[in-house]
Structure 1
Amino acid sequence: MKKLVEIVFDTETTGFDPATGDKIVEIGAVRIYDKMRTDDPRDTFHVLVNPERDIPEEVVKVHGITNEKVKDSPIFADLADDFLAFIGNAPLVAHNASFDMKFINAELEQMGKPALTNEVVDTLPIARRKFPGARATLDALCARFEVDLSARTFHGALLDSQLLADVYLHLCGGLQHGLTLGDQKSDDENGDLEVNLSSLVSSEIRPARSFPASEEELKLHSEFVEKIDGNFWQN
């Protein structure tokens, strides 16, 4: 039987808008099968990216990635094919997916490559639908599902992808890891509600709506704040 393959991924960037020159500095991704994690290193993708521009100090405080750290890293154009080969045509899972997708697609566009057409699952609206009124940042969801955050001193694309994979599996009805199904609780035991993901999955990424500048700035800021979860100004 063919397995359902999904790619949970995250990016770290120099800011919040590729239209103003911000770039990707890190990509992390993990592959899951039939809503199960594996320990196979071949199911992990991680790379630092040289953005060919300065990384603002205020952003370094978030993810810890400095210009010195990425000065010898490949530029996006040199690693794009590896990333595309890793994700293939699999559905992509991300938290506040529009943020990551617009950066990936902007980088691809600069290379003359087409935008991704993979199905996209955004865990942010899933979490908001499942827990209305509750905080839906990655930190908050990890706390809710008792996902270990002890290794997270900075935002990192690979670690955040691994954390999000666990959160996503909980949101889908229960965490399963590898083939140790006997160790997992049933959906009824853990009290998780089933979520109908079909209405939250888009088969294509549609262009962003056009807003007046002031509203667009607010929208971009909101997206960036969702990426930098755990900040004191978020409810």
Structure 2
Amino acid sequence: MALLFRFSQLRNSMLSSCPARVLIPYAGLSPGKLLDPKSYERRLFSTSAQETVSLHSASLGSCISGIQPLKFQQTSEHEPSVPLLIFDIETTGYFQKITGNVQKGNRITEFAVRDLCGGKNSTFETLLNPERDVPGHLATVNNINTDLVCRPDVPRFSDVLPLLLAFVRSRQTPGKPVIWVAHNVKRFDGPFLAQEFDRCSAQMPEDWLFVDTLCLARKLPKLSASNDKKHLLNLESLCKRYEISVEGPSHRAMQDVMALCHVFQKMSFDLQLTHEGLMNEAINASYFSKYLN
């Protein structure tokens, strides 16, 4: 409760011009080593809970252009909606189940999330120190290299975890679960997240549920009989299917989050997905325990 109270105070006093600087003391970091937060490509520490417009606003800011707050049909009009947290990660490679030395294995280098229900402070993003080298071939894809993230002024996952938990609690309706949505969450994002929690000697909260948009994409009708073999299900192909274009550096966590926000809304419409249907697609956080030691 004390952590949540501090986060609420922090959120209310946050200045949009320097969100990263405001959050640094809460992550135990020194503000003296922070680079210009306006430079996305060079920003070493970008953890931020950014302010957007009201949930009831008809139009959203430029940073989330075209993404409207999404609410699924409820079983009761008095039932509060659950937060839909669209998230994405960048890593040092594919997921590897580790044994013995926990420093081995691939790690997360960037994390981003946005609550698709909208409202104030609906996004959270940060670079992460993986405490290991980033392979060169990955750096050419997303411009996240060893020199950028393996520095003492870039937070580790353990530094960011209290902020992340506080952010989620600030979005959560008491007594209701949180739904995390990612593309290929079952085999990639989810196992990585569970493993990082495990490194912190923690477990993901039991009321966290996960929906894999890759599984939803498999239920989409093929566009035509002539292109069955080209019915690709990766995020890039889904963006092309729905004619979605997202500005910003490619293969970065927040840009992929924004793309998935659009895609998820389109897929939900095509699949006529209701709140009940969404809950049926969700898996518990305990699902990822099989990926741990």
List alignment gaps of at least 5 residues for structure 2: 1-77, 99-103, 170-176, 223-227
Q: Measured at CA, do residues 125 and 162 of structure 1 come closer, stay the same or move farther in structure 2, by a change above 3 Å?
A: same
Separation in 2, partners of 1:55, 1:197: 36
Count of residues in correspondence between the two structures: 186
Which residue in the other structure is 1:144 paired with? 241
Residue 131 (structure 1) aligned with residue 221 (structure 2): yes
Q: Aligned-pair distance for 1:5?
A: 1.4
Residue 15 (structure 1) aligned with residue 103 (structure 2): no
Aligned 8 A contact 2:249 2:255 in 1: no
Q: Aligned-pair distance for 1:203?
A: 3.0
Aligned 8 A contact 1:126 1:197 in 2: no
Which residue in the other structure is 1:87 paired with? 168
Structure 2 residue corresponding to 1:76, chosen from 145, 149, 157: 157
Q: Deviations over 1:37-78 (max 9, x none)?
A: 55x4x1010000011110000111222101221223111110
Aligned 8 A contact 1:105 1:116 in 2: no
Aligned 8 A contact 1:94 1:100 in 2: yes
Separation in 2, partners of 1:140, 1:106: 29
Q: Which has the higher contact order (CA 8 A, sep 6+)?
A: 1
RMSD: 2.1
Q: Aligned-pair distance for 1:209?
A: 6.5
Q: Measured at CA, do residues 32 and 207 of structure 1 come closer, stay the same or move farther in structure 2, by a change above 3 Å?
A: closer
**TM-score, scaled relative to structure 2:** 0.59
Separation in 1, partners of 2:234, 2:282: 19
**TM-score, scaled relative to structure 1:** 0.72
Aligned AA for 2:94?
F
Q: Aligned-pair distance for 1:199?
A: 3.3
SS at match of 2:218: helix
Aligned 8 A contact 2:191 2:288 in 1: no
- Percent of aligned pairs with the same amino acid: 30
Which residue in the other structure is 1:56 paired with? 135
Q: Measured at CA, do residues 148 and 58 of structure 1 come closer, stay the same or move farther in structure 2, by a change above 3 Å?
A: same
